[in-house]
């Protein structure tokens, strides 16, 4: 499968110092009331993409995340299960996964398909597969938003991400606009549906010339000195490679199964 | 869109398993009971469609429920076919793994050790895929009331594009104190019962359910003709009362299925019983179809099962038609539009083409069209 990347946007809290809520209000003149920090982060990334490329109202939007908005689940749990109070109205609305994708779509002027989905493993890659099959039929373009907000306290997410206790979490949002057409594309992303064994991966990597990046779960294949983490990191790594005009391979691993993404710059 | 078939389907609702649910509907029963929900100051009793046997809200119980469902569905797939079968869940439930982690972090004196296993709402799908030897592609869709309807559409895309051969799609909703408290806070819960399309309607009644279906390209009497999904609404909680957003989605679903409105045998309406949702859908239906339209609402039997409603209501409709009828709409005494009356008695039906509508929070609107050949 091939998806052409028309453009991208990226934000990482460990690299960029931005007051996101204030920026949304002052620079983009967007309403931020009644929205959670998770929504602000997702909307902010969308605006960064919109600064670079035109968005068509019929574009599809796919949004994915490791666990969605953990802070709002935490607040709701406290109100209802611990303090025996009613849930706050806008916490309830923000609790639904597609609320964040609604606000992103609204801020981008999109009325097309809008899917909020989570895959426990290969979170980003499975969303790509789903997005590809949708474009195969609709022949429109699609925007993929990969977003993770480090909750407060971080320990909540650390407990469910299967990472080591000393791994620090990063808030990040990364977008790409995809098309099945190569016209005006800045890069092409190749991937497939199959998983590979460790031995198969070794063979693939032995004959590969591009730089290899991978998740911290690929310890059997890669020395990864990354001490920070967010689940949708593949999306950020691809964006960084496009920024540097590098061709790369990205590998992810779960349960001794490997998947592979190949990025080739076209500009 | 190339056609995808529905090989097998199952339902577990407040009325019981698939056959029990249909038998109860035939005899005029509904599954409504009551649940206590946290209001601003106290607990209040609200109507609710609960499972006959309560499911403890811990991951192990939810996994057991899902395992039982997939065991029934998977008989239609050979061992070889399982490797090319994906599993997709549509739900709006809060991730209980997350609540456990929150409690361990904030409230427990003796914390559980960290797990090296990643967990998320999709862990259920992943564990099931591993247990049954399915393909490792799983995902869980959360688009409120359209969650499992969108899961059906996504599964259909994955099959018809040739990426995978089969898909198991589950729609799951369980009683959630948080969700129920939220709906109550929005003043959306009916005082006694759900009255779809009735002038006296006063809200929805939530319910828990688990529905499942197997999609494939193999021959089957039931076929998914097509569908359409988008995100467009006046506000985050509702479409405009003119129903223009609903009309657009229904029209696009017909286009995707290469059908005209007069080729639709009957419509399964979303029909939540809320004031604004029903008027919007009614306006859209009356714009698209003539007043001879056959349409019905299934929520009075099993409740509004939110993220599960996509699959559960479709399964309920398919099983009823396999049993020779379209269920009547309960509790509609005076319809919003006099010329558009939902079914007032069970209508004999052996097959045809059916539109299934889902319009939800967060602007997500989905319309699916299914067909059963009349032989």
Does residue B25 contact residue B320 with C-beta atoms inside 8 Å? yes
> Out of B95, B116, B157, whose CB is closest to A137?
B157
Q: Which residues, including other chains, have CB under 8 Å from residue B236's CB and lie 6 or more apart?
A: A93, A99, A102, A103, B361, B362, B363
B2: confidence class by pLDDT, cuts 50, 70, 90: low
Q: B182 to chain A, minimum CA–CA distance in Å?
A: 5
Query: Which residues make Cβ contacts (< 8 Å) with residue B222, sequence separation at least 6?
Result: B5, B6, B9, B318, B370, B371, B372
Hey, is the C-beta of B104 within 8 angstroms of any chain A C-beta?
Answer: yes
What DSSP state is assigned to residue A161? T
B41 has a pLDDT exceeding 80: no
Per the rule left: phi > 0, alpha: psi between -120 and 50, beta: everything else, B286 is alpha
> Among B298, B46, B63, which residue's Cα sits nearest to residue B172?
B63
| Same-domain status, A160 and A258 | no
| Separation of CA B119 from chain center | 25
Q: Look at residue A113 and tell me whether its pLDDT is greater than 90.
A: yes
Q: Are A175 and A212 members of one domain?
A: no
Domain boundary among A167, A187, A207: A187
Q: Identify which of B99, B164, B179 has the shortest CB distance to residue A77.
A: B99
Check: complex ipTM more than 0.90: yes
Tens-place pLDDT, residues A216-232? 889 899 887 777 899 99
Query: What confidence tier does B227 reach under pLDDT thresholds 50, 70, 90?
Result: very high
The answer on A218 and A94 residing in a single domain is no
One domain for residues A108 and A210: no
| A90, A217: one domain | no
Give the Cα separation of B121 and B139 in Å (integer): 9
Q: What CATH code is carried by the domain that includes residue A82?
A: 3.40.47.10
Note whether A152 and A210 are same-domain residues: no
- Count contacts between A and B (CB, < 8 Å): 228
**How many structural domains compose chain A?**
2
If asked whether residues A97 and A120 sit together in one domain, one would say yes
What mean pLDDT value characterizes chain B?
Answer: 95
Question: Would you tell me which residues 253-272 of chain B have a C-beta closer than 8 angstroms to some C-beta of chain A?
Answer: none
* Boundary residue ending a domain (A155, A187, A219): A187
Domain end: A130, A155, A187, which one?
A187
Query: Residue B205: CA atoms inside 13 Å, Cβ hemisphere, count?
Result: 28
Burial (CB count <10 Å: 0-12, 13-18, 19+), residue B211: buried
Same structural domain, A198 and A140: no
**For residue A61, pLDDT beyond 60:** yes
Domain count, chain B: 1
Let me know whether A107 and A213 are in one domain. Answer: no
Whole domain around residue A206: which residue ranges? 190-265
A123-175 pLDDT tens trace: 999 999 999 999 999 989 999 999 999 999 999 999 999 888 889 999 999 99
| pLDDT score of A104 more than 90 | yes
Q: Mean of the pLDDT values across residues B70-88?
A: 97
**Residue A106: closest C-alpha in chain B:** B232
- Condensed to tens digits (0 to 9), the pLDDT of residues B282-336 reads 999 999 999 999 999 999 999 999 999 999 999 999 999 999 999 999 999 999 9
Q: What percent of chain B has pLDDT over 70?
A: 99
A157 and A217 part of one domain: no
Nearest chain B residue to A64 by CA distance is B141
In terms of residue numbers, what domain contains B180?
4-372
Two tokens, residue B193: 């019962």
CATH number at residue B307: 3.40.47.10
Q: Give the separation between CA A19 and CA A34, rounded to whole angstroms.
A: 17
Closest CA–CA distance from residue A244 to any residue of chain B (Å) = 31
Q: What is the DSSP string of B298-357?
A: -HHHH-B-GGGHHHHHHHHHHHHHHTTEEPPPTT-SSBSSTT----SS-EE-S-EEEEEE
Chain B hits for A119, CB-CB cut-off 8 Å, are: 122, 126, 137-140
**Span B127-138, mean pLDDT?**
97
pLDDT, tens digit, 9 for 90 and up, residues B257-281: 999 999 999 999 999 999 999 999 9
In a shared domain, residues A153 and A250 = no
Claim to verify: residue A146 and residue A52 sit in the same structural domain: yes
């Amino acid at each position: 499968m091939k998806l052409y990347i028309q453009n991208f946007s990226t934000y990482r809290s460990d690299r960029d110092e931005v007051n996101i809520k204030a920026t949304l209000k002052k620079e983009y003149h967007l309403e931020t009331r009644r929205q959670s920090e998770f929504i602000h982060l997702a909307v902010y990334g969308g605006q960064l993409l919109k600064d670079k490329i035109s968005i068509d109202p019929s574009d599809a939007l796919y949004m994915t995340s490791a666990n969605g908005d953990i802070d709002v689940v935490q607040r709701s749990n406290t109100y209802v299960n611990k303090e025996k109070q009613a849930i706050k109205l806008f916490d309830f609305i923000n609790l639904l996964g597609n609320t964040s994708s609604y606000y992103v779509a609204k801020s981008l002027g999109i009325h097309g398909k809008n899917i909020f989905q989570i895959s426990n493993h290969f979170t980003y890659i499975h969303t790509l597969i789903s997005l590809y099959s949708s474009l195969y039929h609709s022949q429109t373009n699609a925007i993929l938003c990969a977003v993770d907000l480090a909750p407060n306290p971080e320990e909540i997410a650390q407990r469910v991400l299967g990472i080591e206790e000393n791994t620090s979490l990063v808030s990040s949002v990364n977008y790409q606009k995809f098309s099945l057409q190569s016209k005006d594309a800045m890069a092409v992303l190749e991937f497939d549906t199959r998983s590979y064994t460790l031995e198969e991966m070794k063979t693939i990597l032995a004959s590969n010339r591009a730089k290899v990046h991978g998740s911290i779960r690929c310890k059997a294949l890669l020395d990864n000195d990354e001490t920070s983490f967010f689940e949708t990191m593949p999306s950020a790594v691809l964006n960084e490679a496009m920024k540097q005009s590098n061709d790369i391979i990205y590998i992810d691993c779960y349960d001794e199964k490997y998947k592979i993404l190949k990025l080739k710059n076209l500009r | 869109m190339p056609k995808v078939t529905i090989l097998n389907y199952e339902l577990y609702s407040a009325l019981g398993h698939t056959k029990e649910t249909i038998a109860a509907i035939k005899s005029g029963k509904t599954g409504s009971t009551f649940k206590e929900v946290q209001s601003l100051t106290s607990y209040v009793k609200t109507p609710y469609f609960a499972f006959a046997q309560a499911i403890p809200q811990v991951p192990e119980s939810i996994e057991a429920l899902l395992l039982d469902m997939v065991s029934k569905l998977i008989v239609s797939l050979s061992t070889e076919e399982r490797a090319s079968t994906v599993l997709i869940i549509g739900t709006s439930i809060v991730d209980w793994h997350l609540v456990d982690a929150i409690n361990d972090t904030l409230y427990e004196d003796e914390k559980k050790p960290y797990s090296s296993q990643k967990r998320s709402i999709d862990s259920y799908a992943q564990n099931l895929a591993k247990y049954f030897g399915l393909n490792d592609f799983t995902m869980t869709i959360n688009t409120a009331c359209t969650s499992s309807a969108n899961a059906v559409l996504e599964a259909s895309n994955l099959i018809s594009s040739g990426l995978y051969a089969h898909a198991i799609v589950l729609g799951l909703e369980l009683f959630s104190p948080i969700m129920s408290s939220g709906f109550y806070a929005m003043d959306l819960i009916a005082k006694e019962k759900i009255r779809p399309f009735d002038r006296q309607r006063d809200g929805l009644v939530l319910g828990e359910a688990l529905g499942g279906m197997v999609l494939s390209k193999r021959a089957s009497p039931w076929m998914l003709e097509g569908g359409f999904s988008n995100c467009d609404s006046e506000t985050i909680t509702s479409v405009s009362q003119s129903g223009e957003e609903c009309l657009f989605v229904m029209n696009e679903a017909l286009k995707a299925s290469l059908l005209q409105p007069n080729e639709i045998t009957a419509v399964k309406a979303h029909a939540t019983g809320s004031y604004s949702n029903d008027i919007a859908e009614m306006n859209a239906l009356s714009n698209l179809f003539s007043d001879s339209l056959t349409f019905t609402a299934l929520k009075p039997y099993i409740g509004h099962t939110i993220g599960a409603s996509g699959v559960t209501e479709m399964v309920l409709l398919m099983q009823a038609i396999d049993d020779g009828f379209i269920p009547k709409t309960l509790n509609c005494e005076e319809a919003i539009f006099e010329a558009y009356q939902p079914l007032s008695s069970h209508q004999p039906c052996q097959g045809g083409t059916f539109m299934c509508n889902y319009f939800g929070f967060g602007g997500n609107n989905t319309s699916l069209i299914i067909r059963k050949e009349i032989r």
